Structure 1
Amino acid sequence: MTKMIFNDQIMERENIVDIEDRAYQFGDGIYEVIGVYGGKPFLLDEHMERLQRSAKEIQLSLPYTMEQLRRNLVQLVKTNELDEGIIYMQVSRGVSSREHYFPGNSITPVTIAYTRAEERMSATEDAGATAVLVEDIRWLRCDIKTLNLLPNTLAKQKAVENNAIEAILHRGDTVTEASASNVFIVKEGELFTHPANNYILNGITRRKVIQLCESLGIQVHEEAFTVKTLLQADEVFVTATKSDIIPILKIDNQSIGQESPGKITRKIIQSFRSAIRELEKS
C-alpha cells in the first residue's frame, strides 16, 4: 500500500476526513499539484512559494516551514518509489465546529499529501487536441489556489461531454484561462497570454514556458485578448502541471491555424522536454 502524509508524518494511506474539517464543509483550504519525472519533483520550490502565497491570501498560517514541507514531499516520493506522476498536497484551516467565520488560533491546520502514478501526455502533445469555449463564472480571486473548484469542474465536464481536452474560459469577450490550465496563443511568431492578475492562476508551467521563451528568443506579451483573437490565432496551446504543453487544433469545431501543432508550439515543447531531461539527469 502506498504511503501518504498526514500533518508531519508519513503513514499508511487511509481515509482521514473529519466531517467538521473546514476543507470538507467550506472548501477552506489550499492545494498544490506537483509533477514528478524520473522520481524527482519538478519546480518544487516554485510550487512551495505559491502555496505560501495562497496561504497568506486566505489568512491561513502554515503549520510547518517550507523546508519541512519540501523535505516531507521529497521523502514521500522516495518512499512510494514513484517514478512518473504527481504529488497532491492540501492544507485546510483545520477541524472546528461549523461557523462561517474563522476559528480561533487553537485550531491547527490539517496537511495531507499523496502521490499518484501518471504517464506524461507526450502523444497528445505531438498530435494536438480540441477545446470548447465556456463562460468564466468563477469568483474574482482565481489567483489563489483554493479548494473551491466547482465552476472548474462544471467547465471541464462540458469539455468531456464534447470529446475535448479542455474548456477555455472567457469573461464576456475576454479569454482568461482554461478549466485546469493556462492559455497561450501565437500570432505572427509571438506569444500572448492573459496577465497574471486576479482573473487567472499564475501556473507554474505557465511561468516555466515564459522563462523558456526568453532563452528561445520568442517574444511573450502578458496581455488580455478576445475570443475572436483566440479563434483567429496562428497557434493555441494550454499549459498545466503534468499535462505540460498541449497544442489546441480546434475550438468549438473551428480550426486553429493549419489544424496541426504549429512551429512555435513544437519548439517550446521540445525546450520543455529538455528541461525535464535535465531534471532526470540531475
Structure 2
Amino acid sequence: MRTVYLNGDYLPENEAKVSIFDRGFLMADGIYEVTSVLDGKLIDFDGHAKRLQRSMDELDMRSPIAMDDLLEVHRELVRKNEIDEGMIYLQITRGAPDDRDFVFPDPDTTEPTIVLFTQNKPGLANSPMAKKGMKVISIEDQRWARRDIKTVQLLYPSMAKMAAKAQGKDDAWMVEDGAVTEGSSNNAYIVKGNTIITRHLGNEILHGITRAAVLRFAKEAQMKVEERSFTIAEAQDADEAFVTSASTFVMPVVEIDDVAVGEGAPGPVVARLREIYLDEMRKAAI
C-alpha cells in the first residue's frame, strides 16, 4: 500500500481523506504538477517547482509549503514507496471552507489543501511506445483560455483521450483557428529537415518543463528551432513529429488523422532527442 502526503502528514493511501467542501472537488480550483523519477531521483524538480509557484501566483493562491520542504517531501515519498522509475503527482487546492461558494474563501481562515502521491512505473524510460510511435487524431480545442496555468480542469483533455481511444489511436492533438495548440497532455512538435517546429509560448498552451529542456538540448545539438504555429496538413507533410511531457519524455508521433508522418515509423531526429534528454536529465537528477 502506498504512503501518501496530505497536509503535512504521511499516511497510508486508504487513510487520506479530503473534505467534500474542498474547492478542488467542487470548483476545480486547484493546480498540479507531475515530476518523473528515474533511478530513484527527481527529474527537473526545479522547473516543476517554479511553474507550480507561477500557477499559484496567477490564481492568487497561497502556497501551503516552502519549496525546500516540498523537495524533501518528494524525496521522502520516493524513499517510503521505493520508487526507482515512476512519477510523483502533486496537487494544491484553495482548501475547504465551511460551505460551497463561488467567492474565494478568506486565506487567513481557510488553509490550502496539499496532496502528493507516487505512481510506480517500472520501465518508464524504456517505453515500448518509443519504439513504435504514437498515432494521433485532431480535434477542436475547446478548453478555457488560460491553458498556461496548470490547473486540475482536465475534463476536456480526458474527453480528447477518449475520442482517440474510440478510434483506436493513442492521443489527440487539439486545433484552434486552424493551428495545432498541443496534445491532450503534452506539447506537440514537427520536424522538417534539421528544423524543429513547435507552437510559441502564450496563454494557449502549457509552458512545458520538458519542452524547455528539449528545445535547449536541440539548440546545443546544432538543430534549428522555430517557435510558431503549424497546421495539421503541415504536420502530416513533416519528416517526423513528436510530443514531450514529464511522463513520456520525448515520444515519436508516426500518424496524424490516418496519414503517416514521414516513413510512418520513429525517425532519427526524435530518437536522438529522446536519447539526449534522458542522458542529460539523469545527470542532473536530484
Check whether TM > 0.5: yes
CA distance in 2, matches of 1:254, 1:236: 12
1:188 CA drift (Å): 2.1
Letter in structure 2 aligned against 1:195: H
Output aligned runs, 1:53-92, within 5 Å.
Answer: 53-92=54-93
For 1:100, the equivalent position in structure 2 comes to: 102
Cα distance in 2 between the residues matched to 1:279 and 1:142: 28
Report Cα offsets for 1:183-210 as digits up to 9, x if no partner.
0101121001001110000111111111
| Structure 2 residue 41 is the aligned partner of structure 1 residue 49 | no
Distance in 2 separating the partners of 1:169 and 1:137: 8
Shift of 1:79: 1.4
Give deviations 1:60-102, integer Å, cap 9, x for gaps.
0001111111111111111111111000000010001111110
Displacement of 1:224 in angstroms is: 1.1
- Alignment of structure 1 residues 18-167 onto 2, 5 Å: 18-96=19-97, 97-105=99-107, 106-118=109-121, 119-120=123-124, 121-167=126-172
Cα displacement (A) at 1:234? 1.2
Q: CA deviation at 1:54?
A: 0.3
Q: CA deviation at 1:279?
A: 4.8
Match of 1:179 among 175, 179, 184: 184
Cα drift, residue 276 of structure 1:
4.2
Aligned partners of 2:150, 2:92: CA distance in 1, in Å? 11
SS of residue matched to 1:160 = helix
| 1:229 maps to 2:234 | yes
Q: Deviations over 1:122-151 (max 9, x none)?
A: 321122121111110001100000011111
The DSSP-based 3-state class of the residue aligned with 2:128 is helix
Which residue of structure 2 lines up, in the alignment, with residue 2 of structure 1?
2
8 Å CA contact 1:5–1:11 kept in 2: the answer is: yes
> Bigger shift: 116-125 or 143-152?
116-125
Q: Partner amino acid for 1:206?
A: R
2:22 is aligned with what amino acid? Answer: D
Asked whether the equivalents of residues 177 and 183 of structure 1 are also in contact (C-alpha less than 8 Å), the reply is yes
Q: Does structure 2 retain, via aligned residues, the 8 Å contact 1:31–1:88?
A: yes
> Please, which of 256, 260, 275 is the counterpart of residue 255 of structure 1?
260
Amino acid at match of 2:167: N
Structure 2 CA distance for aligned equivalents of residues 91 and 276 of structure 1: 26
- Give unmatched runs, 5+ long, in structure 1: none
Indicate conservation of the 8 Å contact 2:90/2:114, yes or no. yes
Aligned residue runs from structure 1 range 190-201, under 5 A: 190-201=195-206
Partner of 1:264: 269
- Change over 3 Å in CA distance of 1:177–1:247 after alignment to 2: same
Aligned length: 281
Tell me which amino acid in the other structure corresponds to 1:104. Answer: D
**Matched-pair contact (CA < 8 Å) for 2:43–2:282:** no
- What SS does the aligned partner of 2:276 have? helix
Residues 232 and 52 of structure 1: is their aligned pair in 2 closer, same or farther, counting only changes over 3 Å?
same
Q: 1:228-282: per-residue Cα shift (whole Å, max 9, x none)?
A: 21121111101111211111111111111111112211111111221244257x7
Query: Unaligned stretches of 5+ in structure 2?
Result: none
AA aligned opposite 2:244: T
TM-score, normalised to structure 2, is 0.95
CA RMSD of aligned residues (A): 1.3
